[in-house]
Amino acid sequence: MSRIWNFSAGPAALPLPVLERAQRELLDWGGSGASVMEQSHRGKRFIAMAQQVEADLRELMGIPGHYAVLFEQGGATQHFAQIPMNLAREGDRADYILTGHWSEKAANEAAPYVQVNVAASSKADSFLRMPAPETWQLDPGAAYVHIATNETIHGVQFKHVPEVGEVPLVADMSSDILSGPIDVSRYGLIYAGAQKNIGPSGLVLIIIRRDLLERTTRPMAKIFRYAEHAAHDSMLNTPNTWGWYLAGLTFQWLKDNGGLAAMAENNRRKSELLYATIDGSGGYYRNPIDPPVRSRMNVPFTLHDSALDAAFLQESEAAGLLALKGHKALGGMRASLYNAVPLEAVQALVDFMRDFARRHG
C-alpha cells in the first residue's frame, strides 16, 4: 500500500514517523507486553509517560510555570460553553472577535452562560479580512476576550497577538497551535482540539493561567470545572490514553525536527508556494482573502468555473491528493497544510493544479 498526500482539515495528517512508531509499539508498549490503550492511566508507566508529554510540550511552547496544562477528553467545541462556565460569573460580559465560522460558533455557544459582546466582526465583509483593531469595541470590565487565531474554514489567521489590555485573552488555536513559536504569557487561556497539529481526534489541550482557575463562577459539576482537572493532573476521569500517547509522539517528532521555529519556516514555504501558484494562475484559481491575513494552515480556493470542481476533485484524488474538497459553507477547494504535510506534498499539489489548468483550459 502506498501513502497519499493528505490535505484534510481534520482529522488531519499525522507525521509518518509518529504513525510508524505507534505501529511498532501497538502490541507491546515500552516492553510491557500490552498496548498503551490497555494500561491503567493510574499506573506508573502511564503517569511517567504523561509527565514527559507535558514536559515536552512546555519546552516546545515555552509554557511558564504559572500555567496549568490539561489533556482533556472531547474537542474544542465543548469548550465554547465550558470556557464561560469557568471564567465568568452569572451576569458577566465577555468580548468576542468574529473572524469566521468557528469564532462565530464560539460566541453563539457561550451565550447561555455569559453576556456576549461582539466587540468586532468581519462578517459584513464575508470574513475575507480581519476587523481593523481601531474598530474593536472592547469592554475593560469583560471577563475575557475570545479570538480564534486561525479560521479553518474561512482561511484567515491572526499574525500578531491583539492588544486587549488587562482582560485575559482566550484563544482557540485548534488549527494553528504548534505551527510556530508564540508567547504563551500573552494569553489567559489557550485551547485546541488535537486532530490538526497534535494527534488524533478525541483529545483537547488546554493551557490556562493558574490564577484563572481560582475564579469564583457558578455552581457546576466537578467534571466541568478546570480547577478540578488541574488538581487531578487531567485524570479526574479516565482520559483518552491513546490520544495522550500519540500527542507525546508528535511532540517528540517536533523536537527532533527543529521545534516550532523550524515548523514556522516550513509552513511559510509551503503556504507561499501554494498562494503563489493561485495568484499566478491568471485567475484560473482564486483566493479572495486579504493577503496580510491569509492562513498558513488552511488555504481555500476556487476554480474560475465551478463546473470544473467535480473533475478537479476526481482527478486530484486519482493523483494521490486527498481531501481537497472545500467546506460545505464555502464550496470550492481547501488545502490544509498542517505540520505533518511536507513541502513535497504541496509541490505535488501545485504541479497537479498547473497541469489541470493546461488540460482543461
Which residue stretches of the chain are H helix? 16-25, 44-61, 76-87, 101-110, 210-213, 226-231, 241-256, 259-279, 309-318, 343-360
Annotated catalytic residue: which of 95, 102, 176, 325?
102
User: Is residue 76 part of an annotated ligand binding site?
Assistant: yes
User: Is residue 237 part of an annotated ligand binding site?
Assistant: yes
Q: Which backbone phi and psi does 149 adopt, to 5 degrees?
A: -65, -25
**Has 102 been annotated as catalytic?**
yes
User: Is residue 6 part of an annotated ligand binding site?
Assistant: no
Annotated catalytic residue: which of 172, 176, 244, 325?
172
User: Is residue 277 part of an annotated ligand binding site?
Assistant: no
The dihedral region occupied by 14, where left means phi > 0, alpha psi between -120 and 50, and beta the remainder, is beta
Please give the single-letter amino acid code of residue 174. S
Grid cell digits, residue 16: 509518518
User: Is residue 56 part of an annotated ligand binding site?
Assistant: no
Annotated catalytic residue: which of 196, 244, 270, 325?
196
Nearest-angstrom CA–CA distance, 108 and 258: 39
Place of cell 484563544: 171
User: Is residue 244 part of an annotated ligand binding site?
Assistant: no
Place of cell 494527534: 199
User: Is residue 238 part of an annotated ligand binding site?
Assistant: yes
**Has 172 been annotated as catalytic?**
yes
User: Is residue 102 part of an annotated ligand binding site?
Assistant: yes
Q: Which backbone phi and psi does 121 adopt, to 5 degrees?
A: -155, 140
Longest dimension (CA), the chain: 63
User: Is residue 252 part of an annotated ligand binding site?
Assistant: no
Annotated binding residues for pyridoxal 5'-phosphate: 76-77, 102, 152, 172, 195, 237-238
Annotated binding residues: 42, 76-77, 102, 152, 172, 195, 237-238
Residues labelled as active-site residues: 102, 172, 196
